[in-house]
Amino acid sequence: MSEEDIEEIIWQGKFVTAKRKGKWEYVSRSRGIKAAVILAVEDGHVILVEQYRVPLGRNCVELPAGLIGDETEGEDPLEAAGRELEEETGYRAAKLESLDEYYSSPGMVSESFTLVRASGLTKVGDGGGTDGENITVHRVALSELKQFLETKRAENIGVDVRLLLLLGSQLI
């Protein structure tokens, strides 16, 4: 086995592990934790969340998301997505459908996420997340999404890359 094949753990925390393999340095989730990202679009509107992100040092607008298996090993991705959607947004989905696995930044992070479509939404609470998350929920018309994001950028709010999914043809 060559030096290029050896994976070395540089540092490991409860949720993140920094690794080196040959010349590459990258980050992975600890303990096999994965993520679910929820695409909740209904009646021409999308449900988004805004919350403070320490790595950015500011708020960021995102699709609702959460960790799978961070508290319960072997947690089902759809169950985790349903739980996170309700915790973060106050919406419950009648149907959750996996749209497969994706990688957000494969040159730097090995983490994948399962994209989950949520439909049949019912407002059952205020959302806002769990203790200390302080999440703001936005229900945005798809026809107004580009302007909404421009306004947020002007307020120095970050925009998660996954929102490109919704802007698609508007950018071409």
Sign, CA dihedral 70-58-52-98, equals: negative
The string of pLDDT tens digits covering residues 146-162 is 999 999 999 999 999 99
pLDDT at 49 over 90: yes
**Sequence-ordered strand ranges (E) for the chain:** 7-12, 16-21, 24-29, 34-42, 45-53, 58-62, 65-68, 91-103, 112-123, 136-141, 158-159
pLDDT at 172 over 60: no
Q: What is the pLDDT of residue 106?
A: 87
Q: What is the pLDDT of residue 159?
A: 97
The string of pLDDT tens digits covering residues 17-38 is 899 998 889 888 887 788 999 9
The string of pLDDT tens digits covering residues 59-105 is 999 999 998 977 777 889 999 999 999 999 999 999 999 999 999 88
